[in-house]
Amino acid sequence: MLNVAVINGGRGASGLITAFLDRPYINLTSIVNAYDDGKSTGEIRKFFGMLGPSDLRKVQQLMLPIDDPNFSIYQTLFNHRFPKDVSRKSVFKEINHFLENKNSTLVGLKIESFYVESNIKKFLTSFLNCLNSIEKLRNSKFNFSDCSIMNCIYAGAYLHFNRNIADSTLFFGKLFNLRGNVIATSIENKYLVALRENGEMLYSEAEIVELRSNVRIERIYLLDEPLPRSSFQSFSQQEKKYYLNQHNCHVPINQSVILTLKQADIIIYSAGTQHSSLYPSYISTGLSETIANNKKAIKIFVTNIGADYETPKYKASDYILGAFKYLNLSDSRSYRMEELFDYNLINKSENLGCESYVKYDKEKFDDINVKKILKNFESKKFPGKHDGDLLVDEILSLNENKNTKTFI
């Protein structure tokens, strides 16, 4: 059995993860941060004071067992969102009818497994009971518009497991008999913000994701509380930096992540959105140390195929150098490039023939002490995205032939 650990976001590694799940003798663990605060996840975080379940949920959905007779039902359940114009009355009616009646449906789905149904009922009961109290204390109502039903179920599980996101995520893995493991990078509830090079603040993970500008992000930070936008806007750029550096949190890595990385034969830094999904994981205290101390694992960095608004005009070297920067921000010592990375997989094809592809800047890699593998990793079916099978074939080949191949 080969232990594979992937550090990824919610969707960026979907092809890689599903390709690994189709291979025999692979024990796959996805390591995901939970700082997402957009859409209904933001509402869940605001009312329940918890980390965001959405990216954990998205990766767990990829791992649903396809041979389970209830597979299509679970897929639909994980995907379901209430309509944007939904009324609170109809939501409560829907959930309460499910809770109060045997053999009833939830969002039109009949859950055949009694074990799954009973646990979902237990979690939704916790969700509604706690929500009632919170709404009274906050003197405001939860907004169910475009809300994921699974986010509500995750919130109920979080409450049931004594407000522990790690235990609730682990339980969902067992409840749905997932084909792999998903663990949160950290279990501390922090808030992600970013400072752009022009001094403009991005006050939430959602604002980072929605960024539409060619001005680069200078740095991300994790804070105990959301920033007070109205007063912070008057700060100068230097004042913002000072405040953020003083209040930035060094968040310890989840102990389950440490165990996973220690046992890993292959450690993969996935492609994906960097500042909102990947860098927040890299700055977890203890992550770099654990990776560097695992001398037997091969460590592979996968460069994005296409640029996005989080990484405007980035070239291939910018991606691995950005990861290296954040991996060295939180631990007490700095690590060398070769302690954290062995290989950098870089795509060379451009099937779409447009300007959005990340360019390989060969001259910048002269000072980067990592073996570079420049090949076609692009999907023919989905141009601009990685072909998971091509990546996995290359990664498994590297593992089989480590210390024997020569690269340019």
Domain range for 362 = 255-400
Q: Report the distance separating Cα 172 and Cα 180, nearest Å.
A: 11
Q: Report the distance separating Cα 362 and Cα 247, nearest Å.
A: 38
Structure tokens at 299: 């460590």
Helix (H/G/I), strand (E/B), else coil: 221: strand
In a domain, 9, yes or no: no
Q: Report the distance separating Cα 164 and Cα 322, nearest Å.
A: 31
**CB of 286 within 8 A of CB of 253?**
yes
Pick the last residue of a domain from 184, 207, 230: 184
pLDDT value of position 115:
96
Total domain count for the chain? Answer: 3
Pick the last residue of a domain from 184, 215, 233: 184
Pick the last residue of a domain from 212, 227, 247: 247
In a domain, 338, yes or no: yes
Task: Quickly list H helices, 14-53.
Answer: 14-21, 39-48
Structure tokens at 343: 């290989």
The H or E element containing residue 7 is strand 2-7
pLDDT value of position 406:
45
CATH number at residue 281: 3.40.50.10680
**Residue 5's closest CA among 228, 214, 287, 276?**
287
**Residue 158's closest CA among 193, 138, 184?**
184
Does 369 lie in the same domain as 272? yes
Does 48 lie in the same domain as 139? yes
Does 77 lie in the same domain as 46? yes
> What is the rounded (10 degree) CA torsion for 89, 91, 92, 98?
140
Q: Report the distance separating Cα 108 and Cα 104, nearest Å.
A: 9
**Around Cβ 82, how many Cβ atoms within 10 Å?**
19
Strands (E), 248-398: 266-269, 298-302, 343-347, 371-375
In a domain, 367, yes or no: yes
In a domain, 408, yes or no: no
Angle, helices 54-62 vs 39-48, to 10°: value is 120
In a domain, 279, yes or no: yes
Does 98 lie in the same domain as 163? yes
Does 354 lie in the same domain as 296? yes
Does 225 lie in the same domain as 209? yes
Number of helical (H) and strand (E) elements in the chain, helices listed first: 17, 10
Does 261 lie in the same domain as 240? no
Q: Report the distance separating Cα 348 and Cα 362, nearest Å.
A: 12
In a domain, 167, yes or no: yes
What is the chain's percent helix, strand, coil content, to nearest 5? 45, 15, 40
Does 325 lie in the same domain as 388? yes
Tens place of pLDDT for every residue, the chain, 408 residues? Answer: 999 999 999 888 999 999 999 999 999 999 999 999 998 999 999 999 999 999 999 999 999 999 999 999 999 999 999 999 999 999 999 999 999 988 789 999 999 999 999 999 999 999 999 999 999 999 999 999 999 999 999 999 999 999 999 999 999 999 999 999 999 999 999 999 999 999 999 999 999 998 777 888 999 999 999 998 988 989 999 999 999 999 999 999 999 999 999 999 999 999 999 999 999 999 999 999 999 999 999 999 999 998 877 888 899 999 999 999 999 998 888 999 999 999 999 999 877 766 689 999 999 998 899 999 999 999 999 988 999 999 999 999 999 987 554 444
Residue 243 pairs in a beta bridge with none
Does 367 lie in the same domain as 299? yes
In a domain, 278, yes or no: yes
Residue 374 pairs in a beta bridge with 346
Does 320 lie in the same domain as 242? no
**Would strands 181-184 and 343-347 be described as parallel, antiparallel, or unpaired?**
unpaired
In a domain, 163, yes or no: yes
pLDDT value of position 11:
85
pLDDT value of position 350:
78
Does 152 lie in the same domain as 49? yes
Name the burial class of residue 335, with classes exposed (0-12), middle (13-18) and buried (19+) by CB atoms within 10 angstroms of its CB.
Answer: middle
Does 298 lie in the same domain as 202? no
pLDDT value of position 407:
47
Q: Report the distance separating Cα 390 and Cα 392, nearest Å.
A: 6
| Predicted TM-score of the model (pTM) | 0.95
**CB of 62 within 8 A of CB of 73?**
no
